[in-house]
Amino acid sequence: MNMRDRIAAALKDAMKSRDADRLSTLRLINAAIKDKEIALRGEGGEGGVGDAEVLAILGRMVKQRQESARAYEEGGRLELAEKEQGEIKVIEEFLPRQLNDDEVAAAIDAAVAETGAATIRDMGKVMAALKARHTGQMDFGAVGPRVKDRLG
């Protein structure tokens, strides 16, 4: 079952169980996927969004909500921060398990070996290999500096 089918099935279940918060988050996920499809069609693409792109969309959604929750907590708006945390939990159900620090280090080492990267100029190749194999499993914003240190 592909990602879109899993999301659609979860949406139906949320409707049946009348879980308003979960339903709202699943609708946001669907809207984000449809926005990406429309953007791809505008660029002359097929308009189809694959599982890898859905994982990237979900990863961005989690990151946005984490930043919002942090801002709400700093502003003393705990009820809004809790809502964001609830949305994160729903979105993360569709993401693969996140790699721990040791697994990320091993993935970086494997990507460096696979691409034959030797200098910082090869960082793009390493990041592309990591994204191809580990989309949704790691935060590439945090991995970039680690790759840079490894090659530098």
Domain total for the chain?
Answer: 2
Q: Which pLDDT tens digit goes with each residue over 15-26?
A: 999 999 999 999
What pLDDT score was predicted for residue 25? 95
- Per DSSP, the three-state class of 58 is helix
- Per DSSP, the three-state class of 139 is coil
Q: What is this structure's pTM? A: 0.73
What pLDDT score was predicted for residue 46? 65
Q: What share of the chain in percent tops pLDDT 90? A: 40
Residue 93 pLDDT exceeds 80: yes
Task: Say which amino acid occupies 49.
Answer: V
In this structure, the answer to whether residues 17 and 85 fall within a common structural domain is yes
Q: Say how far apart CA 133 and CA 13 lie, in whole Å.
A: 31
In this structure, the answer to whether residues 86 and 105 fall within a common structural domain is no
Cβ partners under 8 Å of residue 13, min gap 6? none
Which whole-number Å values give the CA distances from 152 to 83, 119, 145, in the listed order?
A: 41, 6, 10
Could you list the residue range(s) of the whole structural domain that residue 145 is in? 101-151
In this structure, the answer to whether residues 113 and 49 fall within a common structural domain is no
Q: Which pLDDT tens digit goes with each residue over 32-44?
A: 999 988 888 877 7
